[in-house]
Amino acid sequence: MPQATNCYRRCIESGSRPEYTNLTTAKKILANGISEQEAIDRAKQGDAECFAALYGLHKRRVYSLCLRMVGNTAEAEDLTQEAFLQLYRKIATFRGESAFSTWLHRLSVNVVLMHLRKKGLPEVSLEQTLEPQNEDGPRRDIGARDNVLAGAIDRVNLGRSIESLPPGYRIIFVLHDVEGYEHNEIAEMLGCSIGNSKSQLHKARMKLRDLLKLSQAQRAARR
């Protein structure tokens, strides 16, 4: 039996396991004993079936990233497609200095950012997405305590609140707090200063805090 077919079948079977993220590349064993590394090596030589298997393994994470960054299904699907096409074209340049998932993730972020820049919308231009400085945040030296959020956030709620952030805030929040990039990496990706990245992240979190408190209050009122 040709190796490719084995690879195909073995990889497919574990295609959409979500819990791969805790494993290192070396330990990532696809079904029936083929490692992700083997699938990568064969995909590099043009094995389309191993490429399909890599798609199966990583599609959910790439799609979720795109969806969170652009906030709309149709665009996220197009971007997922573009990210994997680029993967196919570039996989031979993957040298294994970082984990494959990290490399693919970064490639996908770049595809999304490129798309947003091409659209010419102010989405990546952080300065332009600044809302008028609102001075009515929590800052005060006297007065009653706000309700604190502690324990009140659930995933669905947080996911929805992130979606409703202004695009510039959403991108930086997703990159930093959801996806775990550092400010220096974000500054490099977005072409802004580290200080700018920090202040935008702060504004995004403040905005989310408002949104979450609002939904907390609405839920309390319904009770």
Partner 1 sequence: MTCAEFQRVLPYIIDGGGSAEEQQHLATCQVCSDLIADLRYIAEAAKLLVPMEDPSPKVWSGIQESLEREGMVKPARKHF
Judged by the rule CB under 8 A, the positions of this chain that interact with partner 1 are 12, 15-16, 18, 48, 52, 55-56, 59-61, 63-65, 67, 76-77, 80-81, 84-85, 88-89, 137-141, 143, 145-146, 148-150, 153, 155, 158-159, 162, 173, 177-178, 180, 195, 198-199, 201-203, 205-206, 208-209, 212
Q: Is the CB of 37 or the CB of 81 nearer to partner 1?
A: 81
Select 44 or 205, whichever has its Cβ closest to partner 1: 205
Q: In angstroms, rounded to a whole number, what is the distance separating the alpha carbons of residues 105 and 45? A: 21
Structural contact between residues 194 and 208, judged by C-beta atoms closer than 8 angstroms? no
Which three-class secondary structure state does DSSP give residue 35?
A: strand
CB of 108 to partner 1, least distance (A): 12
Nearer to partner 1, 44 or 198 (CB): 198
Nearest to 37 by CA among 52, 50, 22, 18: 50
The distance of closest approach from Cβ of residue 91 to partner 1 in the complex, given in angstroms and rounded to an integer, is 11
Q: Which amino acid makes up residue 17? A: R
Q: Which is nearer to partner 1, 79 or 120 (CB)?
A: 79
Residue from 84, 82, 83 nearest 53 by CA: 84
**Cβ 78 to partner 1 shortest distance, Å:** 8
Backbone phi, psi, residue 48, to 5°: -65, -30
Q: Which single residue is written with the structure tokens 């994470």? A: 61
